[in-house]
């Protein structure tokens, strides 16, 4: 099944380069492109894409503002954000605003393609390298968090989620069954008031639960 996507990035050479690489994959079709988020609502309504691949930092209407425009218009489309290492707070804001994943702009093509498939399928995406940088940037900036809502075991699972572990990998690391880990993840999502693993990790970072 072909994945139809829109690429939004203000740097023309970067945008064209991304599009050229994506066109090498027969399962991906770039149906439209733009230099900022000002046209995002019109483009999504016109082309009905499976996914938006969008930069965070752009002039006029940036990625976060574009997410807000989509929400205001009632348009639900998976968004994969592109970023650089110094966009920590913007990444956190974008993910909490509804983006389904984020990638560094220097990732390999195979990583980008897999990320597109993951997000287009309705899953969320965490890139551990960037998660680590967000954690480092936020260390010492917040008051001590109230961790009583999460048990020590749940905090351990949460840290492994932040490292990009799957349920199976977490189960092996903590010597529990995959079913037990799945239940713990569900409990974490419920306690943090989020609906997926990505939002759980980012909410935990925002609350200062991870260090």
Nearest-angstrom CA–CA distance, 135 and 163: 11
Is the domain spanning 152-207 CATH 1.10.10.10? The answer is yes
pLDDT over threshold 70, residue 133: no
Topology at the third CATH level for domain 3-138: Rossmann fold (3.40.50)
83 φ, ψ (degrees, to nearest 5): -150, 175
- How high is the pLDDT of residue 42? 96
Q: Whole-model pTM above 0.75?
A: no
Nearest-angstrom CA–CA distance, 146 and 210: 12
Are the beta carbons of 6 and 31 closer than 8 angstroms? yes
Nearest-angstrom CA–CA distance, 86 and 130: 10
CB proximity list for 33: less than 8 A, separation 6 or greater: 6, 7, 8, 15, 19
Of residues 128 and 159, more confidence is placed in 159
Q: Locate 37 and state its tokens.
A: 């988020």
- How high is the pLDDT of residue 6? 98
**Annotated domain spans of the chain:** 3-138, 152-207
Confidence band (pLDDT; 50, 70, 90) for 129?
Answer: low
């Amino acid at each position: 099944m072909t994945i139809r996507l829109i690429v939004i990035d203000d740097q023309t050479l970067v945008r064209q380069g991304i599009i050229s690489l994506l066109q090498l994959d027969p399962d991906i079709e770039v149906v439209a492109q733009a230099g900022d988020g000002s046209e995002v609502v019109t483009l999504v309504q016109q082309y009905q894409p499976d996914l938006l691949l969008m930069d965070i930092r752009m002039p006029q209407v940036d990625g976060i503002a574009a997410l807000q425009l989509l929400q205001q218009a009632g348009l639900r489309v998976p968004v994969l954000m592109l970023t650089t290492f110094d966009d920590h707070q913007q990444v956190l804001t974008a993910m909490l605003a509804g983006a389904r994943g984020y990638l560094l702009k220097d990732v390999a093509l195979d990583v980008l393609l897999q990320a597109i498939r993951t997000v287009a399928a309705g899953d969320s995406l965490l890139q551990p390298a960037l998660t680590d940088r967000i954690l480092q940037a936020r260390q010492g900036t917040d008051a001590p968090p109230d961790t009583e809502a999460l048990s020590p075991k749940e905090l351990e699972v949460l840290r492994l989620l932040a490292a990009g572990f799957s349920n199976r990998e977490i189960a092996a690391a903590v010597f529990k069954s995959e079913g037990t880990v799945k239940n713990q993840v569900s409990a974490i999502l419920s306690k943090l008031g989020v609906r997926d693993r990505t939002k759980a990790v980012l909410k935990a970072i925002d609350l200062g639960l991870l260090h």
